[in-house]
Structure 1
Amino acid sequence: MKVKKIIALQLMLSMMLVLGFASCSKKSSSKNSSRATGWNVDGKKASKKQEAGPGLVFVEGGTFTMGKVEDDVMHDWNNTSTQQHVQSFYMDETEVTNAMYLEYLDWVKNVFPPTDEKYKDVYNGVVPDTLVWRNRLGYNETMTNNYLRHPSYAEYPVVGVNWIQAVEFAKWRTQRVNESLLEKNGYLKKNAKTNDVTAEQNFDTETYLATPTSAYGGNAEIVLPGKKGARKAPKSGKNGTAAEPKNIYAQRSSGILLPEYRLPTEAEWEYAAAADVGQREYNIYKGQKKYPWSGSYTRSGKRQSKGDQLANFKQGNGDYGGIAGWSDDGADITNKVKSYPANDFGLYDMAGNVAEWVLDVYRPIVDNEANDFNYFRGNQYTKNKIGKDGKIEVITTDSIQYKTLSNGKKVATSLPGQIAQVPVDENETYLRQNFDKSDNINYRDGDKQSTKFFNFADAESTNKKANEGRDMYNSPKHNVSTDSLGKMVRKYDQSSKRTTLINDNVRVYKGGSWRDRAYWLDPAQRRYFPQDMATDYIGFRCAMSKVGAKSEKRKTARN
């Protein structure tokens, strides 16, 4: 009996020792312990998974055949097929609607009132061109007067927006979403984004990250320290002095702020529109889709909706939607978003409704030999401008920067509260292999090295007369300037020697619209249009890069 008690006691002691070692092991490998040094890392837990921004759906990246795989009946050879890979990203579920864009207009009008002479160009620069509906031989005044603002068109895609305006909308959306996230997490005064925002007190994500005390014009009543920061009285150290609080403002490492909203690249848009993931078998695609949906026809083959058109488009001369009482696609111009089924990524209207701006500068070829990973043409690298005082320079109400369009209209490209940007210089490009200048639009195409007249000995020649007429793309050069009296002077290029419309200011747009025949519904089709002009058939949607893992779901083997 005594022997049994001794054995039981020994077992209990051994179990206590094991548990003690286990608890020590757990302490030494706590979540706040660095896996690199073993030091305790005192920091707030950050979210490891990126949340999808408002309006966005996840598109898992992968490899695909970019370009047309059907016969090229137009023989323009501007979309020959190439193998490309895109990283995972997020994309707007629908095209940006009139209601979404009106929210932007209302914000700009409230913060930069057009009645103030100083800000009139800010508001006027973001207003869509409603005159795009007018036609010399057509009566479209109903759309001219009502399409943007009438509630009946609220959920229709916005049109009359040029590429520059679309980019500025995406920037604005970034600031408003991150502003809301900071408020939600206690870093900004509640409702300041509506009650306290002014032209002088405007929020910008990059300014907040670089110098939080400069956000909202430096108003400390709006920009608050975090919950673990200076709201609590700092504890005194061993020597009696109070330690300064650290990391009291949100940072990138906090995991709160989202990457920027932007236009999708051409590769991203085409990949998302084709949605070949819907016909995947293991790690290969079973053929290439002709449209964003499966099959070679524009009508549904499903039993419940057999015969219904899967997009709205022009079906023939004088036929934009069929006959009364039995309309083929239910629309004659654009249609309410989500009126047609989504593709296999859950994206609506990737064919029909409106064509869409993408980020790329147009060139007739896609140079996959130079790059086949996240392909994009149009990089113009910048850096923060440093003032004479050695600090970053923040835009004020007196230094708003505008871009004057070819028609003389001004669009604000930087607003108060944002950090002024300048091109990168030799300090960033010296001995780099990946880029050697700020503007890379013409890399391997359109620069001097690409022309047949190129002379290696005269590569850096700045003699304009010697190089005149030797541009890769000899496009019209319109000019808008202001005379000494402040009057606008428009100079239209009337030269008869121009050979192309392609230049560094034309952008790609993708997808067929309500004005297009079915031929243009193919996601691989690509066309171009001047970035500062708008139409009644081009709209846009936003995208956002994904940080972290490629997939949101753990892959499991298929048996």
Structure 2
Amino acid sequence: MQVKNLVILLSFSAALTACHKNKYQKSDVTGWNYNDKNQGGYQVSKATEQATGPGLVFVQGGTYTMGQTDEDVMGNWDNIPKRVTVPSFYMDRTEVANVHYREYIHWLTRIFPPDEEQGQKVLAAALPDTLVWRSELSYNEPLVEYYFRHPSFNNYPVVGVSWRQAHDFCLWRSDRVNEGILMQKGLIASQNVKSQQAEDNFTTKSYLLGLYTPQPGKGVNSKKNPLRDADGRPRATATMEDGLLQPDYRLPFESEWEYAAYGLINQNPRPSRKEGNRGEELQSNKQIYPWAVNVNGLRDTKHGSWQGQFMANFKRGSGDNAGVAGGLNDRAIYTAEVTAFYPNGFGLYNMAGNVSEWVFDVYRPLSNLDFGSNNDDVAPVRGNVYMTIDKNAQGEAERDSMGRVKMRQVTDAESRNRRNYQRGNVINFLDGDSLSNATYGYGQTTLVSDKSRVYKGGSWNDRAYWLSPGTRRFLEEDQSSSTIGFRCAMDRMGSPEGNKRKTGNFWKSKKQTR
């Protein structure tokens, strides 16, 4: 019996020794231990998949033909077909609703009190323009007064929001999501929410740069706190390397929005989960509408055909926005709820109809021709303005009156020696020169300018032609409309196939024999 106990004890000791030996992950380039205070203390977080942010769905990237898919009845010829590749990304499942935008307004009035001059300016810049509902020969005053604020319209898409306002909403949303993550992890105290005022509020960049120091939460000194400094002590401040914080929410690029609207994942066989088998590429079959699975625009289910049913909220014809009483065709006079109708292949609602949506891009009729054949056919976009931190005379970062880190455009002098770009503002790249053969008389002979932003998808007041994702229109970034709303997107970090997937091809290694 004593021998048996001795064997058990030795086995237990060996197990402890093995665990101790495997406690640290080693560097493949130096052989030193990661997260070991006795070997430099280089902290490396465990590789984790990117969490899906609130309201988002994963859109697996792929290649498709961007641009014209139907007869160009408008004669614009501003969406010339071009094959491009869109990296995987995340997009809002629905359009941003009134209740979501009111949450944003509520936060602004709490941080920037409206009884102060700064608060009045901030609020005026953020509020939707409800007067967009007015029309000289229509009675829309009830919508002017109640559409944005009445609870009956909580889940209807917000309208009257300019591109600039939508862009600012995305910035605010990014900060609130990351602040919420840090509170959930116990790294910052919930009391910080009440103490924030004016420029002294949480933004992700100011937090990472140490310009905003929150009150530590109870989880900082907890044994469950995964954050450690080089000496192995609990760390109060998270970094981007820790994998807790999310990338910024932003407006989707035109190529992303159009790709996501088609929901082309429905077109292909599902790839096998077994290693070695591959799925077909995601390719457009020139379908016209987001809900189509064939060129005729019909969609069948296991319960039978949906032919004849309205799949989007749009204007059927002159004077016909909803049909006849007792049998309304799309069941909406103006907008419909953001979850109305059937989602497309990616699970996205109302990618055609209801409201058109702002996208990030600056409008140019011939942007598709300008996209190059090298890297510009991957994630193509027009509107890049490269930014850097605007440091003071002491070389320090500062915050502006909104609490955001001050940024400035990259200068041409700073870009002079670069091979991949030579200017900080590249909105006009290949625009109007001898290579593109395109010229625009900005502000003189055309409405197109550097402030012209693209919006996509048809609205409740549009004919069916505009429901095709390939169509495009534009409006100045400081203007708004009763037919334009928006949704947000987010970059995808890691594998393009989604969580718990590997990138590239893998084969089991075979032992070499002599």
TM-score by length of 1: 0.78
Query: d(CA) in 2 for partners of 1:109 and 1:27?
Result: 54
CA contact (8 A) 1:300 1:309 kept: no
Query: d(CA) in 2 for partners of 1:26 and 1:38?
Result: 18
Query: d(CA) in 2 for partners of 1:438 and 1:66?
Result: 27
CA contact (8 A) 2:495 2:501 kept: no
Structure 1 residue 423: Cα displacement? 1.4
What's the CA shift string for 1:76-135, capped at 9, x where partnerless? 211111110111100000000000000001110111112101321101100000000000
Q: Which residue pairs with 1:424 in the alignment?
A: 410
CA contact (8 A) 1:60 1:88 kept: yes
Rg larger in 1 or in 2?
A: 1
Pairing partner for 1:283 from 280, 284, 292: 280
Structure 1 residue 210: Cα displacement? 1.6
Query: Does the residue aligned with 2:33 lie in a helix, a strand or coil?
Result: coil
Structure 1 residue 152: Cα displacement? 0.6
Query: Does the residue aligned with 1:108 lie in a helix, a strand or coil?
Result: helix
Query: Does the residue aligned with 2:118 lie in a helix, a strand or coil?
Result: coil
Structure 1 residues 312 and 300, CA gap change in structure 2 (3 angstroms): farther
Q: Bigger shift: 70-79 or 92-101?
A: 70-79
**Aligned pair 1:376/2:381, yes or no?**
yes
Query: Does the residue aligned with 1:73 lie in a helix, a strand or coil?
Result: coil
Q: Which residue pairs with 1:544 in the alignment?
A: 490
Structure 1 residue 305: Cα displacement? 4.8
Q: Which residue pairs with 2:398 in the alignment?
A: 393
Q: Which amino acid aligns with 1:280?
A: N
Pairing partner for 1:260 from 248, 269, 284: 248
Query: d(CA) in 2 for partners of 1:247 and 1:325?
Result: 64
Query: d(CA) in 2 for partners of 1:448 and 1:207?
Result: 43
**Long gaps (5+) in structure 2:** 36-42, 270-278, 506-514
CA contact (8 A) 2:362 2:454 kept: yes
Query: d(CA) in 1 for partners of 2:353 and 2:231?
Result: 61
Pairing partner for 1:270 from 255, 258, 264: 258
Q: Which residue pairs with 1:196 in the alignment?
A: 195
Structure 1 residues 257 and 134, CA gap change in structure 2 (3 angstroms): same
What's the CA shift string for 1:45-81, capped at 9, x where partnerless? 4451100100000000111111112222222211111
Q: Which residue pairs with 1:358 in the alignment?
A: 359
CA contact (8 A) 1:192 1:222 kept: no
Query: d(CA) in 2 for partners of 1:473 and 1:426?
Result: 23
Query: d(CA) in 1 for partners of 2:204 and 2:250?
Result: 14
CA contact (8 A) 2:290 2:468 kept: yes
What's the CA shift string for 1:481-502, capped at 9, x where partnerless? xxxxxxxxxxxxxxxxx31110
Q: Which residue pairs with 1:520 in the alignment?
A: 466
Aligned residues: 470
Q: Percent identity?
A: 41
Structure 1 residues 145 and 383, CA gap change in structure 2 (3 angstroms): same
**Aligned pair 1:32/2:32, yes or no?**
no
Structure 1 residues 136 and 222, CA gap change in structure 2 (3 angstroms): farther
Query: Does the residue aligned with 1:267 lie in a helix, a strand or coil?
Result: helix
Query: d(CA) in 1 for partners of 2:380 and 2:473?
Result: 17
Query: d(CA) in 2 for partners of 1:173 and 1:448?
Result: 42
Query: d(CA) in 2 for partners of 1:63 and 1:90?
Result: 16
Query: d(CA) in 1 for partners of 2:220 and 2:144?
Result: 48
What's the CA shift string for 1:298-348, capped at 9, x where partnerless? 676542755320001000000001011110111111001111000000000
Structure 1 residue 200: Cα displacement? 4.2
Query: Does the residue aligned with 1:85 lie in a helix, a strand or coil?
Result: strand
CA contact (8 A) 1:299 1:308 kept: no
Counterparts of residues 137-536 of structure 1 (less than 5 Å): 137-193=137-193, 195-211=194-210, 214-215=211-212, 218=213, 221=215, 226-227=220-221, 245=233, 247-281=235-269, 282-284=279-281, 285=283, 287-294=285-292, 295-296=294-295, 301-302=300-301, 303=304, 305-365=306-366, 366=368, 367-369=370-372, 371-395=376-400, 400=401, 415-416=402-403, 418-425=404-411, 428-446=414-432, 472-476=439-443, 498-536=444-482
CA contact (8 A) 1:226 1:250 kept: no
Q: Which amino acid aligns with 1:351?
A: A
Structure 1 residues 243 and 269, CA gap change in structure 2 (3 angstroms): closer
